[in-house]
Structure 1
Amino acid sequence: MAEQKRIHTNIPFRLDRLPWSPWHILVVISLGITWILDGLEVTIVGIIGDVLRSPVTLGLSCFEVGFLGTAYLIGAVVGAIFFSYLTDRYGRKRLFMITLGTYIAGTVASAISWNFISLAIFRTITGLGIGGEYSAINSAIDELIPARVRGWVDLAINGSWWIGTIVGSALSLYILNPAVFPINLGWRLAFFVGASLAFAVLLIRRYLPESPRWLLVHGRVDEAEEIVTQIENKVRDQTGKELEEPQKFLVIHPRDTIGFSDVINTVFKKYPKRAILGLWLMAGQAFLYNAIFFTYALILGKFYGVPADQIGLYIFPFAIGNFFGPLLLGKLFDTLGRKTMISLTYILSGALLAFTGYLFYLGVLSALTQTIAWVVIFFFASAGASSAYLTVSEVFPLEIRAMAIAVFYAIGTGIGGAIAPSVFGALIGSGLPINLFYGYLLGASLMAIAGVVEIFYGVNAERKSLEEVARPLTEVEKIEE
């Protein structure tokens, strides 16, 4: 394309200096729903795992139940890569409508599946939508939320994954109760809940704007200026506060497209330490969560004899602990800093998991004490896992943000997550506590190592503009003050 003229702008800093307002809450709710939907999906599959083993339903084996989680994650990895390229090329708004639509289609299809193969395929399609959502949504959120609260807001949104878990757990107590619904109907109804919620959100998202930052680096300055002005007017009316003009400016040369080669060169050549950091953080938390949660129902059912229609009672407190971890600890990521809090949450949760695994091996835990231990572990692990997504979404340039998120999500999930449900499903199927203990030790080690990597390679991104954390690729010459 022909070279576009140089642009001198303060749009990013105008967004960062905005006071918190109802408009920001709308952004958080309409975009953050992705995490709730993902939590709902994972919970549903985890809870109905024991139900799907019944000959009255699909008669799946422990391995097949575990593989449903793997199929979902494979779809999420592919969806993240595919849709991220489209997100960076065609915009955040267009893609977060398409990806949510893909999720709805996969979830509805899952409800009418008739055997293992069909359900695995439909779970893969559902994962495609969720994976695409991650890259489109995380980039959009970071680009619209003020820098001073970006860490806390990101962690709180990521932690809302557990609201979906709470909804799924409460739902299971009713729809999986054979006295209320036939056993082969209740698990199908669970999928329709997620689809219904997603459709309602699809309608709300129509009112969100395109990211002004994305418009800016693609040379669409007039559109970006118009949207920022509209946002400023809404925030001013909602808060009653006058807005000071920022003193910082960017000087850029817009580019229409950024290819995968630009992503690879930037991520792995220009920022190799950040690349190592992102891989460890994503892989560690992905293995831990996908290993434990996709097989949660199997563990409670096989080792503790908890009936399928009561598993939700044990997941409910576990989910509450996970939700409040990022919510209560999140502000410390903006005050004490990223490096301190990320390393602390990763290392501490890894150590607690290893200790709990040893108690499980000794056979001294009950369903109740096992749940209490997991609540404590994942209070810290949830904040750490949320910070992994925060890290990879803010430490790389704006033009490749969606693709960078996708690359790290895909590699991290592929290494640490996609194989975890199947592996743990096989370990549980063996019926030997020692085998499951080895799995716990592996998950604990990955978390602890990731925490150490954060100590050495972490980025002090707290309270800084995205453009100051990672210089955009569109030839930023300087940040003027």
Structure 2
Amino acid sequence: MSEPDESKSGTVTTKVPARLDQLPWSRWHWMIVIGLGTVWVLDGLEVTIVGNIASRLSEDGSGLSITDAQVTGVAAALYVAGACFGALFFGRLTDLYGRKKLFLITLAVYLAATAMTALSFSAWWFFLFRFLTGFGIGGEYAAINSAIDELIPSKYRGRVDLIINGSFWLGAVAGSLLSVVALNTDLFPASVGWRLTFALGVVLGLVILLVRRHVPESPRWMFIHGRAEEADALVADVERQVEAEKGVRLPEPDESITVVQHRSIGFGEIAKTVFRSYPRRAVLGLSLFVGQAFLYNAITFGFGSILVTFFDVSSGVTGYYFAVIAFGNFLGPLLLGRMFDTVGRRPMISGTYILSGLLLFGTAWLFGAGKLSAVTMTACWCVVLFFASAGASSAYLTVSEIFPMETRAMAIAFFYAIGTAAGGISGPLIFAGLTSSGVVGDAVIAFCIGASLMVAAGVVAVFFAVAAEGRSLEQIATPLSAREAADAPAA
């Protein structure tokens, strides 16, 4: 129970974190996963659709005066830039006003911007609403990952977080197959089909919004922000649901935590905590995000162009190839996710990063030697990204669990924004020319840059990764408010 501690002004002692962590898996947890996790399906749908329709948008009759390079370069960079700004803007609001308010607002922003993208009539309009779509998606990363990690029991947190972030690739599969249908001019005019792909994103988003209304606020956020009684009541209600479903009586945990309740923490305190108190963890977060961002945002944005340019694959069927690659990406977190909770964070994070980087070097060598076809190239990418996707998903898991709770959303936002800006904004702008130049050596350079940064991030993880498996968030990083409570008597 959350009870006021009369010896300290403004403090509360609670067992809410321990009660959440001891819950067995239940229907309530599935509701959390579906309501919050499915948004990555939308992100995957967005990114893949734009990559696959790039060639069609640049053709005569599309209704837009835009080039292939502008779609895969400028528009892609603006989408990622919007995601970076959105993560920082909404990340701060998430820590201030709670997880639930923001994961509803950010989804609404995404829905409105995507609908406007479908109505594009000129390049500038398309660019503007790609930026705003990314703005909403970036906010989702901060709000959703914060809520998921604070609601899911510690023994399941790793696999659930990885699979949820990996569900991006289910959206990529859907986007790839949808683009094949939408780009078929026998079914839809050239100026209509690509618009329908964005319209589908709006429909899916509305369905998710209906489910998400039932997802509660994070009790961990509530008891720190002066709402201890509400947090206690919410957890008690969840416990009753789980006990009725499982037919067992949940024991009262021994662990409790005492915190000083407050409304917000300033940027200065957040920066001091992240970089001065946890410098090794800060380096780890930056390394993981930069590595995965260059591999994915810089290279896979232009995969359709690679198939068309180097293997003479028709733009109307590139979606089939990418659907295969995307499914391989999803299998990585799905099949390897459990090992992040059992084998451990450090060996799995470093292993997936280093192995995927080495495999990408091998793919680059085979491609440069002219030994690959469209099919074998796709097979190589499937193997590389099977491991890379598990590693990339673990980057989000890592930064969401290794910093104090009061800084969680902002830490996710910061590392996502910095890493993604490095690889996701500069990447498409740099590599769009390399992968569409028609020069094999240029594409090999692009692959090797991504591979090098993945391997480097894996080496950093060997030394700096935190053994967070099976541990509560409060054990991994003591909340700042708990430190304040501990220091109160001396003060």
TM over 0.5: yes
CA 4–98 in structure 1, closer or farther in 2 if over 3 Å, else same: farther
Q: CA deviation digits over 1:445-474, x for unaligned, max 9? A: 000000000011110000000000001010
CA contact (8 A) 2:435 2:446 kept: no
Q: Could you say which residue in structure 2 is the equivalent of 1:258?
A: 265
Deviation sequence 1:332-361 (CA, Å, 0-9, x none): 100110000000000000011111011111
The one of 192, 195, 198 aligned to 2:202 = 195
Kindly indicate whether residue 15 of structure 2 is the aligned counterpart of residue 47 of structure 1.
no
1:61 maps to 67
Deviation at 1:261, TM superposition (A): 1.1
Residue identity over aligned pairs, in percent, reads 52
For residue 405 of structure 1, the aligned residue among 380, 404, 412 is 412
Deviation string, structure 1 residues 110-166 (Cα, Å, up to 9, x no partner): 101122211111000000100000000000000000000100000010111111011
Instruction: Give the Cα–Cα distance (whole angstroms) in 2 for the partners of residues 475 and 313 of structure 1.
Output: 52
Q: Which residue of 2 aligns with 1:221?
A: 228
Indicate if the aligned counterparts of 1:4 and 1:219 stay in contact, CA closer than 8 A.
Answer: no
1:118 aligns with 2:125: yes
* Residue among 359, 377, 380 paired with 2:366: 359
Q: What is the deviation of 1:61?
A: 2.6
Once residues 52 and 249 of structure 2 are traced to their aligned partners in structure 1, the CA distance between those partners, rounded to angstroms, is 50
Question: Structure 2: where are the runs of 5+ without partners?
Answer: 1-7, 487-491
Q: Structure 2 residue aligned with 1:435, among 434, 442, 450? A: 442
Q: Which amino acid aligns with 1:39?
A: G
CA distance in 2, matches of 1:450, 1:392: 14
1:217 and 1:252 in contact (8 A); partners too: yes
Query: In the alignment, does 2:55 pair up with 1:31?
Result: no
Equivalent residue in structure 2 for 1:90, among 87, 92, 97: 97
The residue type paired with residue 60 of structure 1 is I
- For 1:141, the equivalent position in structure 2 comes to 148
TM superposition score normalised by structure 1: 0.97
3-state secondary structure, aligned to 1:7: strand
Are 2:294 and 1:294 equivalent residues in the alignment?
Answer: no
Deviates more, 1:260-269 or 1:237-246: 237-246
Describe the shift of the 1:4–1:435 C-alpha distance in structure 2 as closer, same or farther (beyond 3 A).
farther
How many angstroms apart in 2 are the aligned matches of 1:200 and 1:45? 22
Look up the match of 1:349.
Answer: 356
Higher mean alpha-carbon deviation, 196-205 vs 374-383, is at 196-205
Tell me, yes or no, if the aligned pair for 1:4 and 1:254 is still in contact at 8 Å: no
Tell me the residue number matched to 2:5.
Answer: none
1:159 matched to 2:166: yes
CA–CA distance in structure 1, aligned partners of residues 174 and 249 of structure 2 = 40
CA distance in 2, matches of 1:306, 1:167: 20
Matched, 1:179 2:206: no
Give the deviation of 1:17 after TM superposition: 0.1
Task: Show the 5 A alignment for 1:104-115.
Answer: 104-115=111-122
Q: 1:150 aligns with which of 157, 166, 181?
A: 157
In structure 2, what is the Cα distance between the partners aligned to 1:166 and 1:416?
Answer: 23
Q: 1:63 to 1:175 in 2, by over 3 A?
A: closer
Q: Give the letter for the 1:144 counterpart.
A: L
Is contact 2:39-2:208 (8 Å) kept? no
Q: In structure 2, the residue corresponding to 1:48 is in which secondary structure? A: helix
Give 3-state SS (helix, strand or coil) of 2:316's partner: helix
- Note if contact 1:321-1:376 (Cα within 8 Å) is conserved in structure 2: yes
Deviation at 1:59, TM superposition (A): 4.2
Match of 2:396 in 1: 389
1:268 match: 275
What is the alpha-carbon distance in structure 1 between the residues aligned to residue 473 and residue 467 of structure 2?
A: 12
Please tell me whether the aligned partners of residues 62 and 426 of structure 1 are also in contact (alpha carbons under 8 angstroms). no
In structure 1, stretches of 5+ residues that fail to align are none
Does the aligned pair in 2 maintain the 1:80–1:409 contact within 8 Å? yes
Match status 1:423 vs 2:430: yes
Q: Is the Cα–Cα contact under 8 Å of residues 393 and 404 in structure 1 kept in the other structure?
A: yes
Partner residue in 1 for 2:481: 474
- What amino acid maps onto 1:171 in structure 2? L
Alignment equivalent of 1:22, drawn from 19, 24, 27:
27
Number of aligned residue pairs: 476
Of stretches 34-43 and 354-363 in structure 1, the one that deviates more from structure 2 is: 354-363
One-letter code of the match for 2:67? S
Partner Cα separation in structure 1 for residue 361 and residue 58 of structure 2 = 30
Contact 1:62 1:425 in 2 (8 A): no
TM-score, normalization: structure 2?
0.95
Q: CA deviation at 1:173?
A: 2.0
**In structure 1, how many angstroms separate the alpha carbons of the residues matched to 2:28 and 2:118?**
35
Residues in 1 aligned to 2:415 and 2:220: alpha-carbon distance in whole angstroms: 22
Per the TM alignment, residue 428 of structure 1 is displaced from its structure 2 partner at its CA by 2.4
Distance 2:433 2:401 in 1: 37
The Cα of 1:4 is off from its aligned counterpart by 4.6
Alpha-carbon distance in structure 2 between the residues aligned to 1:206 and 1:325: 30
Aligned with residue 256 of structure 2, among 244, 249, 257: 249
Give 1:313's aligned residue. 320
Q: Secondary structure at the match of 1:8?
A: strand
Indicate the residue corresponding to 1:9 in structure 2: 14
Instruction: Note if 1:237 corresponds to 2:244.
Output: yes
Whole-angstrom CA distance in 1 between matches of 2:9 and 2:424: 43
Between the aligned partners of 1:350 and 1:285, the Cα distance in structure 2 is 10
SS in 2 for 1:419: helix
Q: Do the aligned residues in 2 keep the contact of 1:338 with 1:458 (CA within 8 Å)?
A: yes
Whether the 8 Å contact between 2:306 and 2:436 is mirrored in structure 1 is no
Contact 1:62 1:429 in 2 (8 A): no
**For the residues of structure 2 that align with 1:76 and 1:316, how far apart are their CA atoms?**
24
1:208 alignment partner AA: V
Give how far 1:62 is off: 3.5
